[in-house]
Amino acid sequence: MAQNKTSKAWVHRHINDHWVQQSQAKGYRSRAAFKLLEINEKDKLFRRGMMVVDLGSAPGSWSQVARELIGEEGKVFALDILPMDPIHKVDFIQGDFREESVFRQLENLLGGKQIDLVICDIAPNLSGNKITDQARSFYLNELALDFCAKWLKPGGCFVVKVFQGSGYNDYVNLMKEHFQQVLTRKPKASRDTSTELYLLGKSCLPQLPSDLDEML
């Protein structure tokens, strides 16, 4: 009975959510689009003609935003373990990016070209155990940072969702080894009750330490 009440409350909140309504009105696949739009409005991450990689892309709202902001001449490469409906001029790979073979597919698509921006709104499947879920989340974050270390252009940027708690400060410090500046963002579209934050790594350093490879 309690579960049913909780489910009904969630559905009611979701239907009446301002950002859900806005995403439906504007044709975005989820309210998360407005998180990236707000970060971009403040930090001016996108420009026409960029190459962008979207890690953990499904259902596709961040890829939609990226596609709009970089124009027809830009390129978006997206990856997720879940299926994602096609988006015009977005190259999508379905697979688990914890597997090296999946990353190899993505790297083959890049054709040896470095990336201007990596965006990552990924979260693990939740088990309900906070310690386990936090560890899984930061493992995915570390893999995303490892990808940035290999493929971001010097001066490139990285936006990643993180959750406050165990491992957060260590991850921030790790990002500081790879970027000239690391900033914290909490968009209005992010629910107040959520512990999620977004870290923005600006200006990828041209020569990155190999410590991350040793950690993974």
Q: Which residues contact 187 (CB under 8 A, 6 or more apart)?
A: 34, 35, 38, 39, 198
Which position among 161, 176, 186, 202 bears the catalytic label? Answer: 161
192 marked ligand binding residue: no
User: Binding residue per annotation — 80?
Assistant: yes
- Asked if 117 and 52 touch (Cβ cutoff 8 Å), the reply is yes
> 């027809």: which residue's tokens?
72
Q: Is 153 among the residues known to form the active site? A: no
**What is the signed CA dihedral for 96, 97, 101, 103, rounded to 10 degrees?**
150
- Omega of the bond leading into 59 within 30 degrees of 0 (cis): yes
Q: Is 60 annotated as a binding residue?
A: yes
Binding-site residues, in ranges, read 60, 62, 80, 96, 121
Active site residues: 161
Known binding-site residue numbers for S-adenosyl-L-methionine: 60, 62, 80, 96, 121
